[in-house]
Amino acid sequence: MATESAGTLGREELIEAYRVMRTIRAFEERVHAEFGSGELPGAVHLYAGQEAVAAGVCGALVEGDYIASTHRGHGHAIAKGCDIGAMMRELYGKAGGSCNGKGGSMHIADFERGMLGANGVAAGGAPLACGSALTAKILGKRHVSVAFVGDGAANQGSFAESLNLATVWQLPVVFVVEDNGYAQATGTRYHLRGLDVARRAEAFGMPAAIVDGTDYLAVRAAADAAVERARSGGGPSFIECKAGRFFGHMEGFDQQGYRGEGEVDRLRAEDCLVRFTAAAGLSTEDVNGVDVTVEAAVEVAVAEAKAAPAPEAAELLTDVYVSY
């Protein structure tokens, strides 16, 4: 089980973990502000508050590993090493975006980085991650796949099917359920009955851990164990991470009246970044150095995204097929 010790991670790794989480936070805070000013089109779901999950899980991965993400996918993409400039251009629907502007926030992907895509369908990524895990297994590569799924999607049939298939085929896959308390505006107390999702996963025959999703070191320890198990041929594992989101389900559409009094304030008081800084023993100088760099990078990403041209009109009809 996870501990609060940073002992197994070196200083550089700890600073990198902070940089990843700080980048996600800065990216999402800025997207929130930009959306509020009416500049950003489309449906945008922000990840702020859950950074330790993406960073902790992806911190356990190496190049060649795959992740399949959710509609709330910016954090996963950043943690997997996707370029925030290309991501921001994608959010603005511009040429040079991660997907040339054809995906947007909900389909942001970078196959070169092993990021198989955010997904507009709840639990859409779980079967896909079984597929990329099958690729690794058939081709004899030691790549691990991770499927991120929200608490709402944990009820989907395709998710349960994926847990079973991964066990049947002994796939090198790690299922990560992020319980942020809500499926849109419906609370887990209502929509997710019975035992924890982790117990459901255990019932399919895989080890399952429940961790505090605001604790990077706890998430990382669980992910390290699950990834190592998958990489060494031990089959699938499951991790349930509990971490609330700071913002609503979707920008512009969610007044968050369903939240309890002071709930968001409490979540922000348990900020995974603050918690990590203390646990990792990072100095103010360490933190400030990263913060300045990250803020500048996000500023550049936004400025470049706004200045970037729209995709060519002909792009409407390209990329439907490889050949037709």
- Interface residues toward other proteins, by CB under 8 A: 66, 68, 97-103, 107, 109-112, 116-117, 119-121, 124, 126-136, 138-139, 145, 157-158, 161-162, 164-165, 168-169, 318-324
By the 10 Å C-beta count (0-12 exposed, 13-18 middle, 19+ buried), 161 is classed as middle
Q: Which is nearer to other proteins, 114 or 181 (CB)?
A: 114
Q: Which is nearer to other proteins, 167 or 186 (CB)?
A: 167
Say which DSSP state 312 is in. P
Q: Which is nearer to other proteins, 16 or 161 (CB)?
A: 161
By the 10 Å C-beta count (0-12 exposed, 13-18 middle, 19+ buried), 266 is classed as exposed
Q: Which is nearer to other proteins, 2 or 91 (CB)?
A: 91
β 186-187/182-183 pair status: antiparallel
Quickly list H helices, the chain. 11-36, 51-59, 74-79, 84-91, 125-139, 157-168, 188-191, 197-203, 216-231, 263-269, 272-280, 284-307
Q: Which is nearer to other proteins, 230 or 273 (CB)?
A: 230
CA–CA distance, 66 with 63 (Å, rounded to integer): 8
Shortest separation between residue 184's beta carbon and other proteins, angstroms: 18
Shortest separation between residue 69's beta carbon and other proteins, angstroms: 12
Beta carbons of 115 and 129 less than 8 angstroms apart: no
Q: Residue type for 64, please?
A: G
Shortest separation between residue 194's beta carbon and other proteins, angstroms: 20
CA–CA distance, 316 with 324 (Å, rounded to integer): 15
Shortest separation between residue 125's beta carbon and other proteins, angstroms: 9
Shortest separation between residue 27's beta carbon and other proteins, angstroms: 20
- Cβ-based neighbours of 310, under 8 Å, separated by 6 or more: 93, 94, 95, 101
Q: Which is nearer to other proteins, 131 or 207 (CB)?
A: 131
Q: Which is nearer to other proteins, 102 or 275 (CB)?
A: 102
Shortest separation between residue 134's beta carbon and other proteins, angstroms: 5
Burial annotation 191-212 (CB, 10 A radius, 16+ → b, else e): ebeeebbbebbbebebbbbbbb
Shortest separation between residue 198's beta carbon and other proteins, angstroms: 19
Within its chain, how far is the Cα of 215 from the centroid?
15
